[in-house]
Amino acid sequence: MGEPGGARETLTVEVWRGGEAGRFETYDVPQGANQTVLDVVTWIQRHAEPALAYRFACRVGVCGSCAMTVNGRPRWTCRTHVSRVARGRRLRIEPLRNLPRIKDLAVDMTPFFEKWQRAQGRFTPTRTRAEPMAVVRPESAPRRAADAGIECINCGVCHAACDVVGWDPDYLGPASLNRAWTLVNDVRDGDRHGVLKAASAGGGCHSCHTHGSCVEHCPVGINPTAGIAGLKRQSLLDLVGGGLP
């Protein structure tokens, strides 16, 4: 933090440059009050390295596009204050783990979203707009389970934090399985059995080791591990005939 009345302090920031092959380059960035990691990256791009590639949109923790690895941990950079993560005024900023690097801090999110599709993480409607809206009781157990995971912003932080994603390229990962769990619990969905089948196929929920890294790192406080445990439970219940209605 800057000292009151003193000269303006600077941060020493190492930033990954290049694609899969590359190197860290170091920049001195003026430190400011309430500065976020995204502010730091933006300062570098505007004042020191105009060719720096990175991704952001909303800057307020809604769009989920600015996730990067900061001092070794995946984080949403727009809501991560430098004062909370800098070690001795040093930052090391890299692209997210477990996804192909495109350039500098931008990764290719295609495998991430392809896994959402493999997990059938899409709503299957059962009504047309001409029909009345479905009545879903907010306090019902399935709705509460769905609500617990529904605020995912698709930032990819859990995907980057997950060791199993890093080991097994077939593993669907916490985000897509969390999405599948919300759909399995959405009584309006027209293919809950299909979602459960997709989420429990090879590389699905049964591959989870329950390490809990996704829970630890999720910036919006979702517990994907609990959802994955729910999918495992539900798949076993389905096997013995006591599953989804």
Distances (CA, A) of 220 to 34, 65, 153, 215: 20, 14, 8, 10
What is the pattern of x (binds another protein, CB under 8 A) and - over residues 146-165?
A: ------------------x-
Residue 170 as a binder of another protein (CB under 8 A): the answer is yes
Q: Tokens in use for 98?
A: 């477990």
Candidates 56-64, 110-118, 200-208, 222-230: pick the segment binding another protein (CB under 8 A).
Answer: 200-208
Query: Between residues 151 and 163, which has the closer beta carbon with respect to another protein?
Result: 163
Among 123, 206, 215, 244, binds another protein (CB under 8 A): 206
Secondary structure of residue 96 in the 3-state scheme = coil
Q: Tokens in use for 208?
A: 């989870």
CB of 159 to another protein, least distance (A): 16
Residue 202 as a binder of another protein (CB under 8 A): the answer is yes
Query: Between residues 136 and 236, which has the closer beta carbon with respect to another protein?
Result: 236
Written in H, E and C, the secondary structure of 13-78 is EEEEEECCCEEEEEEEEECCCCCEHHHHHHHHHHHCCCCCCCCCCCCCCCCCCCEEEECCEEEEHH
Query: Which helix (H) or strand (E) segment is 113 a member of?
Result: helix 110-118
Query: Between residues 102 and 201, which has the closer beta carbon with respect to another protein?
Result: 201
CB of 240 to another protein, least distance (A): 9
Candidates 91-99, 143-151, 167-175, 211-219: pick the segment binding another protein (CB under 8 A).
Answer: 167-175
Q: Tokens in use for 191?
A: 């293919």
The residues of the shown chain that bind another protein, judged by CB under 8 A, are 164, 167-168, 170, 200-202, 204, 206-207, 232, 235-236, 238-239
